[in-house]
Chains A and B, each alone.
Chain A
Amino acid sequence: MNELVPVVEMTDIAIGFPGVKALDDVSFRLFQGEVHALMGENGAGKSTLIKALTGVYTIDSGRITVLGQQKNFSTPAESQAAGISTVYQEVNLCTNLTVEENVMLGREPRRRGSIDWRAVRARTREVLAQLHLEHVEPGSLLSEHSIAVQQLIAIARSVEVNAKVLILDEPTSSLDADEVSQLFRVIRDLRDRGVAILFVSHFLEQVYELSDRMTVLRNGKLVGEYMTRDLSRMNLISKMIGKDLEVLEELDQASTRSQARLAANAQPFLETAGLGRKGSVSNVNLSIYPGEVVGLAGLLGAGRTETARLLFGADKADEGSIKIKGEPLKMRSPRTAIDHGIGFCSEDRKEEGLIGDLTVRDNLVLAMQATKGWARRIPRRVQDELVAEFIEALDIRPANPDALIRNLSGGNQQKVLLARWMVTSPDLLILDEPTRGIDIGAKTQIQKLVNRLASEGMSIVFISSELEEVLRLSDRIAIIKDRAMVADISNDDVSVEDVLTVIAGGA
């Protein structure tokens, strides 16, 4: 295989955004007739690499060759002309158009300036037949079909141009098991016909089922290229999260809080049974007791954030139930959750947490003000006291209540968002990646704060991609894997290895 010239060869690719190096000298090769998995956690640079290859982003430095020819893609059209097709997770087709149009759009055969619809239909039928999609009517609207079929139609579009390279970005995340196997049959078919396939998925099992070779990225850097059969799941995970197992073991510390305190509380604050949402996460069974820290562990993208959003009502669950203090509750909106004493700090501070153009003061009292309603403004004096108290308690800098929050550093923004919930004295606080992207000082402060709040009786759901952090802080750990909750274990007898074993799936 190594004798062959790669279909795609990317050498020392770098792409930077203001303030971030998204890809740092990453190299990547893709051969004919293989399924190549691109692995890494969210933010590792997978999407950026794909977008460089598909012409959505322009590379800052490095070289891309396709079939030995050097290419400088600056638009998706150029990349497609070079034989590269992409099927994205969110199916980038037009649901308002018909199947045949989605297959042929922009390449419709024409006769004397007019689109030859008969030829369009004939060609579409031909392509659909190649993918065992004879039952799909070319003239039907795309929106009539399931996501799975839409995904296959997106693949049909690439078959139509005889794409040399097919990129599949998270194609399976909203499919059920049958649909996945149908998709995989088509992918294998294409591979056997000599198409080079780049496959990205958060589902480890699917990667092992389908891929021949993998490239692992971490923090925008290349970790390595491996044959799938040579790399164990455990090894893959440690390469993805960037820690050797031995190091992880050393960091493992049992929680210092006494389990006896928890035993005294007979009734959990929140219980869920079979909570789930189609295409998001399923089978969440959690019981969270007062004063308990429950860690959600799992790889990034495994479904941790989705779980948190269901608990908070940010997304509506379509199966299972939630009980608060033993009372069944229909979690209709975040407001329902807040009214029942739940707070939630999103992992996406900028899009889902901060009101960037407002001041630290406004942001800090926002949740409290929201529950009071617009008419009962929290008096300025009370606001000042609260804000001063939390600026001091959490060491928020600059200690200026009137600074715009978007001008604060990440760590200080995070503290303001934590304070936003703390002023409402919730019974349960859900923290999704509260320590990501902030400096080490602020990180330690936040970890201490979590400990303190729990010892004061608050329940906390703690999500972090740093396993050692989860283990250090949590009393109990729920493990989410491949979009479902797979285990709920008490932390006193858990090692990093135990958790990783569950995540790796008994291999």
Chain B
Amino acid sequence: MKSILKNRLAWPVIALVALLAVNQIFRADFLSLRMQDGHLYGSLIDIMRNGAPTILIALGMTLVIASRGIDLSVGAVVAIAGAASCAYIAASPEPASPVTAAVAVLIAVVAGLVLGVWNGFLVSTIGIQPIIATLVLMTAGRGIAQLITDGQIVSVTNDSYKAIGAGYLFTLPISILITAVVFILAAVLTRRTALGTLIEAVGINPVASRLAGLRARNIIWIVYIFSAFCAAIAGLMISSNVTAADANNAGLYIEMDAILAVVIGGTSLAGGRYSLVGTVVGAFIIQTLTTTVYTLGIPPEVTLVFKALVVLTVCLLQAPKARNLLRNLKPASPLRTKEKVAV
């Protein structure tokens, strides 16, 4: 039992299960799934579907944070990707054709990659602190998105495009499938190559990594590009779900949720070992929390207060100083008091 609790994933999973249990108690049909018109329905599916964009972005954010960085610009990238694809569809001569939708997706993805290259350039080549470097795009990005949409909410009517966020395939929402594919992509990209290990090496000990001959620059570039790629896909999903691009509000504060998901999932903000599975669990916890608040009949807007408490609790549990304080509350062993005196 003790060894299970020591697993980094243990606490997030326990928290998720507890949240789900609370919901089940208050709503007996919470965990049930039903089939209707060949589609799966149920609260769990809803949680997954609503959480899909956050999960996507959090996956990219996980790798960025593992490399000792942070990407504040993902919300802006979401807005730009959605704006670019919807603006293209709206302006194309055949706004309903699947080909148009495919080109729109391509445009959004390329836009995302370009923005990722930009962030990577500022961080790795110019050497600006990640939080500041990505702040630039965070500030300017929404303006760029509005520039693309001309300040309007661009609505599109294209069934193929709509399918990305709202469609179904093999009884499951396509957004969930896309998220799963990106998850597998991330896992393969980092674990079938040496990328994951090298990201961790740079995040854990940049000095030793340099002395072992690692070129951190390329690795840092890749994580920012991947992060922006994930954000672009999320942008497609969000705009497709409402068949419109809202440059102002699409993905607003999603960077905060993503960072939160990563931290809850057990990846330290100080960089190093990361867990993609943990991040997914973390994102589910956030999404389930929202649902729980709703189930309990609390006004949904209050979720933010709960999120604040969750952030603080998780950070306090991760902070070495807080851990020491907790330990010292227990009857101190001779060694402990010694530590306290020495430090």
Contact = CB atoms under 8 A, between A and B. Distances in A.
B162 to A, nearest CB: 37
Interface in B193-215: 193-195, 197-198, 200-201, 204-205, 207-215
Contacts of B208: 346, 351-355
Given A58-B341, A370-B212, A18 B335 contact: yes
A344 B194 contact: no
Interface string A52-82: 0000011010000000000000000000000
A334 B211 contact: yes
A362 B201 contact: yes
Contacts of B341: 58, 60
B149 to A, nearest CB: 37
Contacts of B198: 369-370, 374
Contacts of A357: 200, 204, 272-273
Contacts of B201: 355, 358, 362, 366
A448 interface: no
B192 interface: yes
A36 interface: no
A18 B339 contact: yes
Contact of B204 (A18, A312, A358, A377): A358
A37 interface: no
Nearest to B198: A374
Interface string A216-255: 0000000000000000000000000000000000000000
B219 interface: yes
Nearest to A377: B194
A353 B208 CA distance: 5
A338 B212 CA distance: 8
Given A60-B342, A370-B198, A335 B204 contact: no
Contacts of A376: 193-194
A57 B197 CA distance: 38
Nearest to A366: B212
B293 to A, nearest CB: 35
B213 A338 contact: yes
Interface in A344-376: 344, 346, 351-358, 362, 366-367, 369-376
A95 interface: no
Contacts of B343: 17
A183 interface: no
B328 interface: no
Identify whether the interface residues of B are mostly helix, strand, loop, or mixed. Answer: helix
B338 interface: yes
Contacts of A377: 192-194
B218 interface: yes
A367 B132 CA distance: 31
A354 B194 CA distance: 18
Nearest to B218: A374
B194 A351 contact: no
Nearest to A371: B213
Contacts of A346: 208, 211
B211 A353 contact: yes
B340 to A, nearest CB: 9
A362 B192 CA distance: 14
B222 interface: yes
A378 interface: yes
Contacts of B215: 335, 370
A420 interface: yes
A252 to B, nearest CB: 33
A18 B212 contact: no
Contact of B207 (A58, A333, A351): A351
Contact of B342 (A58, A312, A420): A58
Nearest to A378: B194
Interface of A: 15-18, 57-58, 60, 312, 314, 333-335, 338-339, 344, 346, 351-358, 362, 366-367, 369-378, 420
9 contacts: A18-B339, A314-B211, A351-B205, A352-B208, A355-B205, A366-B214, A369-B197, A369-B198, A370-B215
Interface of B: 192-195, 197-198, 200-201, 204-205, 207-215, 218-219, 222, 272-273, 335, 338-339, 341-343
